[in-house]
């Protein structure tokens, strides 16, 4: 029998963002799911930025295979997707409420349907979803923006501009912003409100449903309702365990890594693939890191409380036990590790290790547990299909999440391909139960988007652009060095380990998309 599926995602949330994973943030709803379901503590993303990962969640394919290998690309509405598959094979009613990001967000002329839906007053269908209500960071666009403008225009001026890098808060930390909006009007609660209303409507139809509830937080800019900041005092927060603690120790660690790591820290490399262009990690003070963490903890708590209201609604309707519930994020956040913040071409624990919780419906009789089995986003679509009782799409590449504690998974594959042609960085990463290895392919200058005026403004004649010849890489022992401070790539004692891991990586690289997709937007 087809079961209801609630798929909950956040944006740019670290593994250790949850209370059950050691955070000081209070996340009782996520903690409850983890205690009642399977908490996969060795889950890793297949890509470290939004669009590739979200398309992987939607298709069950690796980024190299579906072809969305960077932000700023376009996944068209008629292509493969789990929503349409569930509708076709089991009559599912489908909805997406919150952030989508299957198409570019920088779209001033409204080329893409993702950005046209709200201005047109349309709730779909789109991308195989019968119903969509979209929200994004601040007031970038979507149904939330339209709702706020029409109903509470006096509260539209408090949101920050994404990727602007403007300082705020008490410490002047980048991407912090005072937002006086009342908590009940903020997008996290709006998403919960809309999900509750839609679940109530669908519950009357008798049809099974698949709802993707997608929160835009805790992605920067960090602009939660200012009245909620009292939840945490940044002065009481500790530095993250991935922060070496001093400028000297940061430099010592970064010198062991490929050159763009240290260049970024020093301000010689402008990382525009997920961070404010003018941000220099070396200038980030420890107090600024603490205040950034304060804002993120607040956003994570607001997400959790919104999610908790939706779970409570399922209980009131009597369908909580009959619903498969998934909770994860697209990728992590550096959030002070190496004194870095935000994201970028850094295949490190901070960005790749993610929260990943699955509470199967009661009929699965799956015992609650903490699982160290390796899983990733490519395994979601097969698990959705198992819950729905439908065949696996022929294009899907993952396996359904392991319900048997004895089932083994050998590896996760994560890739990176630069969005900007001028950067041309390409990384291929394998994670197994002991090691994480990243091979750098030779740099290119002919792949990715090209915007000459933007490139000149960002890099000009001063910016250092990495140029790798394919011999560079990173190798870390995940057990002995969980925060990946010591790169073993050139250590003679690990020559055999490196050789075996590279052979495993190349033997298991996913098939590449036959159609090369263009990068059409900077975001």
Strands (E), 384-444: 412-417, 426-431, 435-440
> Does the pLDDT value for residue 176 go beyond 70?
yes
> Does the pLDDT value for residue 463 go beyond 80?
no
Note the pLDDT of residue 95: 98
Calpha distance 515→400 (Å, rounded)? 27
Instruction: Return the structure tokens found at 247.
Output: 């400028």
Report if pTM > 0.95: yes
CATH second-level architecture of 4-156+178-225+243-408?
3-Layer(aba) Sandwich (3.40)
Query: What pLDDT digit, counting tens, does each position of 427-452 carry?
Result: 999 999 999 999 999 999 988 888 88
Instruction: Return the structure tokens found at 9.
Output: 């995602």
> Does the pLDDT value for residue 41 go beyond 80?
yes
Q: Which residues pair with 369 in a beta bridge?
A: 38
Note the pLDDT of residue 452: 83
Mind giving me the DSSP string for 62-85?
Answer: -HHHHS--STT----TTS--HHHH
> Does the pLDDT value for residue 188 go beyond 90?
yes
Mean pLDDT of 359-381: 97
Which of the four pLDDT bands, split at 50, 70 and 90, describes residue 361? very high
Instruction: Return the structure tokens found at 376.
Output: 């990733």
Nearest to 364 by CA among 308, 333, 325, 391: 325
Query: What pLDDT digit, counting tens, does each position of 85-123 carry?
Result: 999 999 999 999 999 999 998 888 899 999 999 999 999
> Does the pLDDT value for residue 369 go beyond 80?
yes
Return contacts of 119-127, CB within 8 angstroms, 24+ apart: 119/146, 126/77, 126/96, 127/58, 127/77, 127/81, 127/83, 127/84, 127/96, 127/100, 127/102
Percentage of residues in the chain having pLDDT higher than 70: 99
Averaged pLDDT score across all residues of the chain: 95
Instruction: Return the structure tokens found at 234.
Output: 């940044």
Which of the four pLDDT bands, split at 50, 70 and 90, describes residue 462? low
Note the pLDDT of residue 310: 98
> Does the pLDDT value for residue 1 go beyond 80?
no
Note the pLDDT of residue 17: 98
Mind giving me the DSSP string for 471-518?
Answer: --EEEEETTT-TT--S--TT-GGGHHHHHHHHHHHHHTPPPPPSSPPP
């Amino acid at each position: 029998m087809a079961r209801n599926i609630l798929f909950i995602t956040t944006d740019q949330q670290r593994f250790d963002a949850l209370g059950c994973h050691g955070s000081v943030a209070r996340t009782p709803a996520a903690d409850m799911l983890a205690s009642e379901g399977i908490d996969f503590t060795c889950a890793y993303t297949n890509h470290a930025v939004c669009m590739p990962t979200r398309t992987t969640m939607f298709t069950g394919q690796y980024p190299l295979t579906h072809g969305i290998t960077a932000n700023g690309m376009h996944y068209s509405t008629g292509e493969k997707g789990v929503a349409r598959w569930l509708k076709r094979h089991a009559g599912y009613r489908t909805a997406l409420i919150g952030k989508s990001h299957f198409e570019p967000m920088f779209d001033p002329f409204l080329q893409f349907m993702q950005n046209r839906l709200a201005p047109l007053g349309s709730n779909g269908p789109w991308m195989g979803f019968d119903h969509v209500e979209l929200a994004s960071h601040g007031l970038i666009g979507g149904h939330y923006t339209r709702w706020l403008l029409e109903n509470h225009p006096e509260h539209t001026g408090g949101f920050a501009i994404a990727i602007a890098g403007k300082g705020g808060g008490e410490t002047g930390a980048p991407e912090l912003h005072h937002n006086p909006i009342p908590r009940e009007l903020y997008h996290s609660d709006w998403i919960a409100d809309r999900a509750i209303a839609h679940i109530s409507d669908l519950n009357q139809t008798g049809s099974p449903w698949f709802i993707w509830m997608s929160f835009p937080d805790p992605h920067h800019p960090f602009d939660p309702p200012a009245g909620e900041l009292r939840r945490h005092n940044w002065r009481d927060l500790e530095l993250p365990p991935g922060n070496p603690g001093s400028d000297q120790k940061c430099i010592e660690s970064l010198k062991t890594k490929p050159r763009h790591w240290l260049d970024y820290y020093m301000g010689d490399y402008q990382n525009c693939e997920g961070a404010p262009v003018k941000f220099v990690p070396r200038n980030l003070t420890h107090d600024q890191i603490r205040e950034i963490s304060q804002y993120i903890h607040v956003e994570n708590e607001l997400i959790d409380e919104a999610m908790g209201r939706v779970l409570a609604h399922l209980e009131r309707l009597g369908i909580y036990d009959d619903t498969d519930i998934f909770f994860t994020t697209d990728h992590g956040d550096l959030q002070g590790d190496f004194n870095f913040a935000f994201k970028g071409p850094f295949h490190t624990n901070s960005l790749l290790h993610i929260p990943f919780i699955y509470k199967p419906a009661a009929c699965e009789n799956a015992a609650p547990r903490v699982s160290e089995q390796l899983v990733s986003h490519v395994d979601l679509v097969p698990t959705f299909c198992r819950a729905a009782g439908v065949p696996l799409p022929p294009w899907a590449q993952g396996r359904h999440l392991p319900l048997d504690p004895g089932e083994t998974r050998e590896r996760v594959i994560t890739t990176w391909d630069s969005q900007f042609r001028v950067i041309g960085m390409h990384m291929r990463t394998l994670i197994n139960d002991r090691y994480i290895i990243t091979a750098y392919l030779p740099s290119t200058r002919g792949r990715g988007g090209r915007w000459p005026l933007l490139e000149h403004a960002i890099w000009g004649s001063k910016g250092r652009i990495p140029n790798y010849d394919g011999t560079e890489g990173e190798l870390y022992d995940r057990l002995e060095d969980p925060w990946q401070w010591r790169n073993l790539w050139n250590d003679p004692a690990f020559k055999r380990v490196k050789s075996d891991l590279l052979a495993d990586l190349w033997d298991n690289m996913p098939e590449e998309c036959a159609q090369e997709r263009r990068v059409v937007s900077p975001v």
